[in-house]
Amino acid sequence: MKEVEIKQVISYLNPIQIGDTVTISYNRKKHKAVFITEEDLKHAAQESKPVFIDAVLTRIERYGKVNRGQALQLHFTAEGRDYPIPVVQPFGFEYRSGERANLILIQGMARIFRYGNEGTVKASDQLSLQGEIIRMQKMPIIIENKQLMLLEVMISRGADRIRKANSLFVPENLSVNVGTVIPVTMEMDDLQKETRLLQGKQGAAKVLTVHFEGTKGERPLANITAEKDGVIYHIKQTIEPVYGVEVGDELWIAYDEGTQEAMIINYSSR
Domain borders along the chain are 1-46, 51-115, 126-183, 194-266
Task: Tell me the sheet residues that pair with 130.
Answer: 156, 183
Lateral strand order in the sheet of 181-187: 160-171, 146-157, 126-143, 181-187
Running along the chain, 270 residues long, what does each successive block of 10 average in pLDDT? Answer: 52 49 52 54 52 92 93 95 96 95 86 79 71 93 94 89 92 88 87 93 97 94 97 97 96 96 85
Asked if 137 and 150 touch (Cβ cutoff 8 Å), the reply is yes
Report pLDDT for 182.
86
Asked if 149 and 138 touch (Cβ cutoff 8 Å), the reply is yes
Distance CA 265, CA 214 (A): 21
Report pLDDT for 27.
54
Report pLDDT for 10.
46
Tell me the CA distances in angstroms from 96 to 61, 76, 177, one per residue in order.
Answer: 12, 11, 34
First-to-last alpha carbon distance for the chain, in angstroms, is 54
Report pLDDT for 107.
73
- DSSP structure string for 186-255: EEHHHHHHHHHHHTSEEEEEEEEEEEEEEEETTEEEEEEEEEETTEEEEEEEE--TTT---TT-EEEEEE
Report pLDDT for 82.
95
Distance CA 77, CA 54 (A): 9
Report pLDDT for 26.
47
- In this structure, which amino acid lies at residue 157? R
Distance CA 117, CA 220 (A): 10
How is residue 99 annotated by DSSP? -
Q: What is the pTM of this model?
A: 0.78
- In this structure, which amino acid lies at residue 63? Y
Give the three-class secondary structure for 19.
Answer: coil
Report pLDDT for 33.
55
Distance CA 41, CA 49 (A): 12
Decide yes or no: CATH 2.40.50 for domain 194-266. Answer: yes
- In this structure, which amino acid lies at residue 137? Q
